[in-house]
Amino acid sequence: MDTKDIANQLVALCREGRNIEAIETLYADDVISLEVMEPMREVHGREGVLGKAHWWQGAHEVHGASVDGPWPNGDQFIVRFQFDITQKETGKRVQMDEVGLYTVRDGKITEEKFFYAT
């Protein structure tokens, strides 16, 4: 699969809420995941990224989600995610607006980096 195929598959899976499956099938073993803040500012490896995704799903109640894109260029592509969620720990309802920048090598996603509207 080329970068556009992977981008389209990631968007299609995330639109159906199948984010875990996207990581399992499209991510490289040694993928690097980059956030703005600790404690998950830099996570290495697909297993770590899966752990992060499972944590996120357990920690939030999702009321609505939309996925825009992809916007590809060469071996990278961008996807926008908007979530209407409640943080279970605080009970706080939040509108998240984030963008993911993905890098592909040899048919797998080797890096994801997330950016947040301020």
Binding residues for a second copy (CB under 8 A): 4, 34-36, 69-74, 76-78, 80, 97-99, 101, 113-118
Number of Cβ within 10 Å of residue 9's Cβ equals 16
Inter-axis angle of helices 46-59 and 19-26, to 10 degrees? 180
Give 24 or 82: the residue with its C-beta nearer to a second copy: 82
Give 3 or 19: the residue with its C-beta nearer to a second copy: 3
Q: How far is the CB of 84 from a second copy (least distance, A)?
A: 18
Q: How far is the CB of 114 from a second copy (least distance, A)?
A: 7
Q: How far is the CB of 56 from a second copy (least distance, A)?
A: 17
- For residues 77 and 80, what is the distance between their CA atoms, to the nearest angstrom? 10
What's the DSSP call for residue 36? Answer: S
Give 35 or 84: the residue with its C-beta nearer to a second copy: 35
Give 27 or 102: the residue with its C-beta nearer to a second copy: 102
- For residues 86 and 21, what is the distance between their CA atoms, to the nearest angstrom? 23
Q: How far is the CB of 81 from a second copy (least distance, A)?
A: 11
Beta strand segments in 3-91, E: 27-34, 42-44, 60-73, 76-87
